Amino acid sequence: MRPVTLTSDRFVMSVPVPGDAEAVFDACQDPEIQRWTTVPSPYERVHAVEYCTTAAAQWQSGAEQLWAIRDGGLLLGVIGLHRTSDDSADLGYWIGPTARGRGVLTEAARVVLDWGFAADGGAYARIGWRAAAGNRASARAARALGFRFEGTSRMAFPSARGREDAWFAGLLPDDDRVPRDWPVLAAASSPP
């Protein structure tokens, strides 16, 4: 599959290219990205260069579809669909610290999910979400996108610190995408 460029009202999502390596490197120095995602820690320039130079090949192999989220020439984050089977993928993302709290992820992810379910796009029957247990910011974003919480798996999330428990959620093409309650988010807001 060849890389596809997507657009939303404010952003352009296109495959990361070698020229993005410095922006990716800078963003991935953020402790929150290193804490909650699977990027290497410490994150070195060589990691960013490899990531940006192999993104198009990932598209071609069908392993994953990656997009840099751009506002003009500024890279705000990265989002992708990581194929888990012939007709399923997991949504993954990170947003740089200066772009958080502005609805960047929600806006970009809606477009990526639409493409992922479209017959002329990814044609996925299911898109999953997973995160290290405790990553409430990612869980709130997935909930807002309409993902249905499916549970916790013990030691199912690889991280720089080893393995951690993982939260899982899923979305199907016919789901209405109306946010539902997630018990792990309700528990966090309940008084002791």
Chain centre distance of CA 62: 17
pLDDT interval class at 159 (50, 70, 90) = confident
User: Could you state, in order of their start, the residue ranges of all structural domains in the chain?
Assistant: 6-189
What homologous superfamily is domain 6-189 in, according to CATH? Gcn5-related N-acetyltransferase (GNAT) (3.40.630.30)
Enter the pTM of the model: 0.93
- Whether the pLDDT of residue 29 is over 80: the answer is yes
pLDDT at 192: 45
- Whether the pLDDT of residue 187 is over 80: the answer is no
Query: What HEC string does the chain produce?
Result: CCCCCEECCCCEEECCCHHHHHHHHHHCCCHHHHHHCCCCCCCCHHHHHHHHHHHHHHHHHCCEEEEEEEECCEEEEEEEEEEEECCEEEEEEEECHHHCCCCHHHHHHHHHHHHHHCCCCCCCCEEEEEEECCCHHHHHHHHHCCCEEEEEEEEEEEECCEEEEEEEEEECCCCCCCCCCCHHHHHHHCCC
**pLDDT tens figures, 32-45:** 999 898 898 899 99
